[in-house]
Structure 1
Amino acid sequence: MSWEQQGYQQQGYQEQGYGYEYGYSGYVEQPYPQPPSPQEYVDHGYYGQGVEPEPPEPPVPGAPADAEAEEEKPPSRPPGRDRYFDTLRAVALIRVVTYHTFGWAWAGMVFPSMGIMFGLAGTLMAKSLERPALTVVRSRMRRLLPPFWFWGVFVVLAMLVHDWMPGWQIVYWIVPLGDPPGNAWGEQAWEILWYLRTYLWFVLLSPVLLKVFRSAPVPVLLLSLAPIVVFQFLWEPPDNRLGSALTDLATFLFCWILGFAHRDGVLERLKAPAVVVLSLAAIGFGGWYAFTHQAGTGSYDLDDIPLAQAFWSAGYVTLLMWAKSRFGIDFSWLTRFRRTDRVVTIFNSRAVTIYLWHEIALILAVPLIDQFWNVPAFEKWLPLESQWFMFGIGWILIAVFVLLCGWVEDVAGKKKPQLLPGGRPARMAT
Structure 2
Amino acid sequence: MTHGYPTGASADATPAFGIPRQPVAEMPPAPEEQPPARRSVPGRDRYLDLLRTLALIRVVVYHLLGWAWLSIVFPSMGVMFALAGSLMARSLKRPALSVIRGRLRRLLPPLWAFSAVALTMMFAAGWKPSKDPDLGGGWHVVQVLDYFLPVGAPPYPEHLGSDSGLLDASWAEQAAGPLWYLRAYMWFVIATPLILWAFRRVPWATLLAPLALTAVVGTGIVTIPGETGNAVTDFVVFGGCWTLGIAHHEGVLQKVPRYLAVSCSTLLMAFGLWWASGHHGPDGWDLNDIPLAQATWSFGFVVILLQYSPSWQELPGRLARYDRLVTLSNSRAMTIYLWHNLLIMLTVPIIDQLYSLPFLQSDTDASAITSAYTWLMFLLVWPLIALAILAFGWIEDLAAKRSPRLWPDGAPRGRAKRHAVAGP
Q: Under TM normalisation by the shorter chain, which class is it?
A: 0.7 to 0.9
Residues 1:359 and 2:346 aligned together: no
SS at the partner of 2:14?
strand
Identify which range, 14-23 or 264-273, moves more after superposition: 14-23
Structure 2 Cα separation of the partners of residues 348 and 29 of structure 1: 11
Structure 1 Cα separation of the partners of residues 128 and 2 of structure 2: 22
Structure 2 Cα separation of the partners of residues 150 and 294 of structure 1: 37
Aligned pair count reads 381
Residues 1:340 and 2:305 aligned together: no
Structure 1 Cα separation of the partners of residues 155 and 342 of structure 2: 17
SS at the partner of 1:275?
helix
SS at the partner of 1:130?
coil
Using a 3 Å threshold, how does the CA distance of structure 1 residues 250 and 271 change in structure 2: closer, same or farther? same
Identify which range, 370-379 or 171-180, moves more after superposition: 370-379
Gaps in structure 1 of 5+ consecutive residues = 31-74
Choose which of 334, 344, 350 in structure 2 pairs with 1:368.
350
Please tell me whether the aligned partners of residues 3 and 305 of structure 1 are also in contact (alpha carbons under 8 angstroms). no
- Counterpart code for 1:424: P
SS at the partner of 1:131?
coil
Please tell me whether the aligned partners of residues 17 and 103 of structure 1 are also in contact (alpha carbons under 8 angstroms). no
Structure 1 Cα separation of the partners of residues 347 and 318 of structure 2: 35
Structure 1 Cα separation of the partners of residues 93 and 244 of structure 2: 17
Choose which of 375, 378, 394 in structure 2 pairs with 1:391.
378
Choose which of 27, 39, 55 in structure 1 pairs with 2:35.
27
Please tell me whether the aligned partners of residues 2 and 191 of structure 1 are also in contact (alpha carbons under 8 angstroms). no
Residues 1:173 and 2:147 aligned together: yes
User: Which residue of structure 2 aligns with residue 101 of structure 1?
Assistant: 64
Please tell me whether the aligned partners of residues 282 and 315 of structure 1 are also in contact (alpha carbons under 8 angstroms). yes
Identify which range, 380-389 or 147-156, moves more after superposition: 380-389
Q: 1:25 Cα shift?
A: 4.9
User: Which residue of structure 2 aligns with residue 123 of structure 1?
Assistant: 86
**Alpha carbon RMSD of aligned pairs, Å?**
2.2
Identity in percent: 42
Identify which range, 16-25 or 261-270, moves more after superposition: 16-25
Using a 3 Å threshold, how does the CA distance of structure 1 residues 137 and 335 change in structure 2: closer, same or farther? farther
Q: 1:292 Cα shift?
A: 1.2
Identify which range, 209-218 or 381-390, moves more after superposition: 381-390
Structure 2 Cα separation of the partners of residues 397 and 423 of structure 1: 21
User: Which residue of structure 1 aligns with residue 266 of structure 2?
Assistant: 280
Structure 2 Cα separation of the partners of residues 235 and 148 of structure 1: 35
User: Which residue of structure 1 aligns with residue 412 of structure 2?
Assistant: 424
Residues 1:415 and 2:389 aligned together: no
User: Which residue of structure 2 aligns with residue 18 of structure 1?
Assistant: 25
Q: 1:329 Cα shift?
A: 4.5
Please tell me whether the aligned partners of residues 28 and 424 of structure 1 are also in contact (alpha carbons under 8 angstroms). no
User: Which residue of structure 2 aligns with residue 400 of structure 1?
Assistant: 387
Structure 1 Cα separation of the partners of residues 359 and 312 of structure 2: 47
Please tell me whether the aligned partners of residues 323 and 329 of structure 1 are also in contact (alpha carbons under 8 angstroms). no
SS at the partner of 1:373?
helix
Using a 3 Å threshold, how does the CA distance of structure 1 residues 338 and 26 change in structure 2: closer, same or farther? farther
User: Which residue of structure 2 aligns with residue 5 of structure 1?
Assistant: 5
Q: 1:337 Cα shift?
A: 6.4
| Aligned ranges 1:177-326 → 2 under 5 Å | 177-184=151-158, 185=160, 186-233=172-219, 235-295=221-281, 297=282, 299-324=284-309
Please tell me whether the aligned partners of residues 83 and 334 of structure 1 are also in contact (alpha carbons under 8 angstroms). no
Structure 2 Cα separation of the partners of residues 27 and 284 of structure 1: 37
Structure 2 Cα separation of the partners of residues 403 and 322 of structure 1: 37
Q: TM-score, normalised by structure 1?
A: 0.83
Q: 1:162 Cα shift?
A: 2.3
- Counterpart code for 1:409: E
User: Which residue of structure 1 aligns with residue 135 of structure 2?
Assistant: none
Please tell me whether the aligned partners of residues 29 and 425 of structure 1 are also in contact (alpha carbons under 8 angstroms). no
| Aligned ranges 1:12-161 → 2 under 5 Å | 12-14=18-20, 15-22=22-29, 23-28=31-36, 77-161=40-124
Structure 1 Cα separation of the partners of residues 26 and 196 of structure 2: 27
Q: 1:394 Cα shift?
A: 1.1
Please tell me whether the aligned partners of residues 210 and 237 of structure 2 are also in contact (alpha carbons under 8 angstroms). no
Deviations 1:121-164 (A, max 9, x none): 00000000110000000000000000001000111111112222
Using a 3 Å threshold, how does the CA distance of structure 1 residues 363 and 348 change in structure 2: closer, same or farther? same
Deviations 1:156-178 (A, max 9, x none): 11111222222121221221010
SS at the partner of 2:150?
coil
Deviations 1:174-212 (A, max 9, x none): 210100111123110001111110000000000000000
User: Which residue of structure 2 aligns with residue 68 of structure 1?
Assistant: none
Gaps in structure 2 of 5+ consecutive residues = 130-140, 161-171, 420-424
- Counterpart code for 1:110: V
SS at the partner of 2:414?
coil
Please tell me whether the aligned partners of residues 106 and 400 of structure 2 are also in contact (alpha carbons under 8 angstroms). yes
Structure 1 Cα separation of the partners of residues 101 and 288 of structure 2: 30
